[in-house]
Amino acid sequence: MSSKFRISKLKITLLAALFITPLQGRAESSQTIVTNDTITVAGSETQTVIITRPSDNAVHPALLFIGGMGCYSVNFNSTKIDSYEKIINTAANMGLVTIRVEKTGIGGGVGTPCEQQGFYRELLGYFAAMDSLKKYPFIDAKNILVFGHSIGGVIAPYIAAKYPVKSVAVIGSLGEKWYDYELTNTKRQSVLAGETPQQVASYMTYQTLIFQELLLKKRTPADILQQYPDAGPYMESPVHYSYLQELTDLDVAAALKNSSSKYTVFYGSSDYIGSQESALVPFVKTVNANRPVPVQLKKLQDIDHFFMDAKTQQESFNTKHGDGSPLQLQKSFYVELSKWISESIR
């Protein structure tokens, strides 16, 4: 089957991490100690855990940070500060221990290459990191927070369901079944790309067919290409196809219901990648119907998926303001982050 849509023009972005570099130089405190540790995962594989802590001998609250989809290092060694590093610095400067987990096969890890891992394998890495925290005398086990961005917001509820974390916050994440998200996200981005209604309809007809084969029927891309030779661009992803297939089977709402942690779902008004308000509102309502501690839903104005100051989704998609000026880091997000941390560790 062939599509008349100009498949080379549209590149769909999923719940991925895109590192940005809005600030020059580092803002790390001289009172912070950085430690790399090794955890064992899935029997014989290893991953690297990066921990920052205040240099005193006191016990401190801790923040586990979980980033977006894709294969990249969370060991910030650039001369520039990106959005993720600023999240870590914000927590560290408030006196928290911070924890990051390198992706599989990255940062000295041994085992499954990141490009071949599934969602459940990634989740196991975070479980192993949580299990390792009890050996650190400087971490207050009753004051552990989790912050997830993008796909990190899908991982976070499974951690909260398994471990007694005090508070969780996510942003730019999922509020619907993955298959539904893939379709609505693809259509939204095709409209933002300026395609005509006819082009969008044509594209979505074929894309829906391929998603059904890949995500619902669990066929391999190689198998699908045998039947649909031009389906390659419709299956492009920053992760292995099995990762997406496993996401399709998840019930994030059920995981949320199985935890009693304080939980905040942030979403940016100009985020065109994460689940939208129309999905998040009923999602949170469904979860709260059977959850002793209600999930809080909070909209952040003029913040996009990458923590930039876009006023609209179109500005975010174009990576510039309407007047052509470049987007800048949205500083109000870090104010909200600091407020959430302060309220969580009281």
What does DSSP say about strands 262-268 and 97-101: parallel, antiparallel, or unpaired? unpaired
What is the pLDDT confidence band of residue 82, given thresholds at 50, 70 and 90? confident
Domain extents in the chain: 23-174+250-344, 178-247
Average pLDDT, the chain: 91
269-315 pLDDT, tens per residue? Answer: 999 999 999 999 999 999 999 899 999 999 999 999 999 999 999 99
Cβ 257 vs Cβ 287: under 8 Å: yes
4-23 pLDDT, tens per residue? Answer: 333 434 567 877 654 433 33
Q: Which token pair is 259? A: 């935890």
Region 216-226: mean pLDDT is 98
Region 241-247: mean pLDDT is 98
So what's the pLDDT on residue 14? 75
pLDDT at 24 over 50: no
What does DSSP say about strands 262-268 and 296-300: parallel, antiparallel, or unpaired? parallel
Q: Residue 64 has what DSSP assignment? A: E
pLDDT at 122 over 80: yes
Question: What residues form DSSP beta bridges with 34?
Answer: 52
What homologous superfamily does CATH list for 23-174+250-344?
Answer: Alpha/Beta hydrolase fold, catalytic domain (3.40.50.1820)
Cβ 309 vs Cβ 329: under 8 Å: yes
Q: Which token pair is 336? A: 């909200």
The Cα 293–Cα 160 span in angstroms is 13
The Cα 149–Cα 156 span in angstroms is 9
